[in-house]
């Protein structure tokens, strides 16, 4: 029997707590990449993401009995552990948030999808990506995490609420506010870039 394909997360956790090593390996294989991606997108550091991922699964082995199925899925339990570790580490360091450049859904300018085969537009895309990284980094942690989980990990409001241990309404309001702040910051960045380009153009003709 292929545990990773056939057994549920809850069943794997129970088997792991009973001492079955293969169940832990299956849980790790199923969720390691997601935990790593979350930590990486929140911090921008592969080393930090590696550390957090390791700590999450060590914590799972040690404190897995604390999981309560009534409070959400095992995946939400893991995200919650990862979140706590990430926030502790980010409190000590100031890092840019890493956004996957392959995630084109976040890289529309003025609501229009970008042509990734156009060199000039690609330059604009990179400028927008840098502005987006900085804008997300500037968000308070409770706004940043809902953007990462909802928009980058495409989790449902209910799943995010379970991971963050808050109400669905709180997730909705935080995400709405976070998107508003991001839009404001990105508009400001576009205006600054436009002003810089205008000044550069004036210098060329002087």
pLDDT tens-digit profile of 109-152? 444 444 444 544 555 556 667 777 778 778 888 999 999 899 88
Q: Tens digits of per-residue pLDDT, 69-111?
A: 998 999 999 999 999 999 999 888 765 555 554 554 454 444 4
The CA distance from 111 to 129, in Å, is 14
- Say whether pLDDT at 59 is over 70: yes
Instruction: Report d(CA 195, CA 79) in Å as an integer.
Output: 41
Any idea what DSSP says for residue 153?
Answer: S
The reported pTM is 0.73
Q: Cα dihedral sign for 169, 171, 173, 179?
A: negative
C-alpha 16/C-alpha 29 separation (Å) is: 13
SS3 81: helix
Q: What is the pLDDT of the chain when averaged over all its residues?
A: 81
CA distances from 76 to 4, 87, 181 (A): 18, 16, 26
Q: How far apart are CA 35 and CA 64, in angstroms?
A: 16
Structural tokens at position 60: 């799972």
Contact 76, 159 (CB under 8 A): yes
């Amino acid at each position: 029997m292929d545990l990773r394909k056939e057994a549920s997360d809850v069943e794997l956790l129970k088997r792991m707590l009973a001492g079955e090593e293969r169940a832990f390996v299956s849980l790790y294989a199923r969720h390691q990449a997601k935990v790593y991606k979350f930590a990486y997108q929140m911090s921008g550091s592969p080393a930090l993401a590696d550390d957090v991922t390791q700590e999450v699964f060590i914590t799972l082995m040690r404190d897995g009995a604390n999981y309560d199925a009534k409070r959400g899925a095992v995946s939400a339990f893991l995200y919650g552990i990862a979140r706590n570790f990430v926030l502790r580490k980010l409190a000590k360091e100031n890092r840019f948030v890493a956004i996957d450049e392959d995630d084109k859904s976040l890289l529309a300018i003025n609501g229009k999808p970008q042509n990734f085969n156009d060199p000039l537009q690609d330059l604009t895309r990179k400028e927008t990506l840098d502005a987006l990284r900085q804008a997300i980094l500037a968000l308070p942690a409770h706004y940043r995490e809902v953007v990462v989980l909802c928009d980058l990990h495409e989790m449902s409001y209910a799943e995010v609420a379970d991971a963050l241990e808050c109400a669905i309404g709180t997730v909705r309001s935080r995400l709405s506010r976070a998107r508003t702040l991001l839009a404001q910051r990105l508009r400001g960045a576009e205006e600054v870039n436009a002003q810089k380009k205008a000044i550069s153009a004036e210098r060329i003709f002087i």
